A and B are shown apart, each in its own frame.
Chain A
Amino acid sequence: MSEAGSHLLVRAGDFVCALPLQSVRRVMRALTVHPLPGATAELKGLSEFAGEPLPILDLARLVGAPPGASPAFPVTIVAWAGPPEARETVGLAAEAALGVVSVPASSVVVGEGGFVVGEASVAGDVVRVLNLEALGRR
């Protein structure tokens, strides 16, 4: 499986999302999150990773997913976000990391673009394919 098409499947609320594997730095048990008063709902708060401060974003909110039956965030995906020349490290709070799959670009039904590139079918399930390089673009 080539890394270019490899994605990490993550459950976020009622959605399953596919994150490009090349953007994923680490999958961890949930990091301790310190709330940041005044932040929008997408920003759950701040944490610490490898001695550096780390923003923790609510992946379900970012993709507009309805909250799951048991909305908890047991997993933090530490990933690169933004364009390669200005990438930042971000933590994505999610409900589960499900595994690595290949999502060929040709299988993606492209939507409006941006952070959610489009949808693909993986083992019969609809998966939202994400572009972390677009995260944070206004």
Chain B
Amino acid sequence: MSRPGYLLLRRSGALFGVASAAVLGLSRQGAAYRVEVAEHGLLADEVVGVVENLDVRPLAPLVSRYWPEASGGWAVHAGAPVVVVDPCRPPRALAEGETVDGE
């Protein structure tokens, strides 16, 4: 039985959601957290928690124009926008060893 819900992660000020069913492992890595999904390791500054459900919609095309990354959609949780991660194609902002603008 797959686990419901989403693991919420914060990275560089942004909130990301990963379907709990896709999470294979979670560990500390220095001051950060490493989340194992599919064939990727994701780095997070903070593990915010787990939410049971998110009303996930497709990411607006306008966002994709200025943020050229794959995603599983977006949602709002507790008044904050959440970008849902595609476990097979996570954004570079979450990838190990990646630095992105603004960091």
A residues sitting closer than 8 Å to B (CB atoms) are 34-43, 45-48, 51-55, 57, 81-82, 86, 88, 90, 135-136, 138
* Closest-CB distance, A138 to chain B (whole angstroms): 7
The answer to whether B76 touches A37 (Cβ under 8 A) is no
The answer to whether B66 touches A48 (Cβ under 8 A) is no
B residues sitting closer than 8 Å to A (CB atoms) are 11-15, 57, 60-63, 65-67, 69, 74-76, 79-83, 91-93, 100-103
Complex alpha-carbon distance, A48 and B66, angstroms: 18
The answer to whether residues A43 and B15 also contact, given A52-B76, A53-B74 and a CB cut-off of 8 A, is: no
* Closest-CB distance, B49 to chain A (whole angstroms): 16
The answer to whether B15 touches A34 (Cβ under 8 A) is yes
The answer to whether A136 touches B62 (Cβ under 8 A) is yes
Complex alpha-carbon distance, A36 and B71, angstroms: 13
The answer to whether B81 touches A53 (Cβ under 8 A) is yes
Interchain Cβ contacts under 8 Å between A and B, 6 examples: A34-B80, A38-B100, A39-B101, A51-B76, A82-B62, A88-B61
